[in-house]
Amino acid sequence: MPKALFILTSHDTLGDTGKPTGFYWEELAAPYWILSDAGWQIELASIKGGKPPADPSSAEGDAMTDEVRRLLADEAVMNKLENTTKVEDVEVSGCDIVFLPGGHGTMWDLPNSKALGDLLGRAFDKGAVVGAVCHGPAGLLSARLASGDPLVHGRRVAGFTNSEEDAVGLSDVVPFMLEDQLKAQGGHHQKGPDWQPFAVADGNLVTGQNPTSSAEVARLMLKAADLPAAP
């Protein structure tokens, strides 16, 4: 059975605002079920291990998708989520896909995790598919390849855009603008209209722009891994 590793943020506060954040449910749930239904074994890890924080707004209103409901109702998955492996303790050698769901929490801890950067660099160098969606590509900023180059350097990459960050009113709260930093590391940033699904694959790197891009990122990861996607 092919194996995928999902790595989540452990950061739970939006800067100095005191407001809660974390990972975004849809960005975990949609890829989880697309890969799981296609026969993949999925392991969950986080920066600190244990139970990662979820952004409460991602379980409200239109954000509460059928995939999120399915995840929340699945006792086995929720038990895995309560007990994620610390990223420093993860063995990545058996994983064919490594995926970073987003949520604003990722902007604080993923780029500053040397363990995550080392893991992503090793995975990509050995041919694993590395994927990320929305703010998840912030984790790619910590990754260097054996050549010394940033993982995103010279590659087409998507992520939460400056205009989308402006629209949610958090441009002055986040520690950096993700679109700008992906470009600063030599990534060829691509984007679609705000809030519309947009994902791009460049070899074994698969990235998506926003929460609505999560399912397409999962399908492109399966294609890049050379296994069929679920219907």
pLDDT at 93: 86
What percent of the chain is modeled with pLDDT above 90? 95
pLDDT at 229: 47
pLDDT at 231: 43
Residue 4 three-state SS: strand
Q: In sequence order, what E strands does the chain have?
A: 3-8, 41-46, 85-86, 97-100, 129-133, 156-157, 188-189, 199-202, 205-208
Q: In sequence order, what E strands does 135-225 have?
A: 156-157, 188-189, 199-202, 205-208
pLDDT at 230: 45
Name the residue type at position 92.
Answer: V
Q: Span 144-156, mean pLDDT?
A: 97
Q: Backbone phi, then psi, for 94, in 5-degree steps?
A: -95, 5
pLDDT at 47: 98
Q: Span 164-179, mean pLDDT?
A: 98
Q: What is the pLDDT of residues 43-93, one digit of tens each?
A: 999 999 999 999 999 999 999 999 999 999 999 999 999 999 999 999 888
User: What would the two tokens of residue 230 be?
Assistant: 């679920």
Checking 57-60 for CB contacts under 8 A at 24+ apart, the result is: 58/23, 58/24, 58/25, 58/26, 58/27, 58/103, 58/211, 59/25
Mean pLDDT check: name the lowest of 110-124, 201-215, 217-231.
217-231
Question: By the 8 A CB rule, do 138 and 107 touch?
Answer: yes
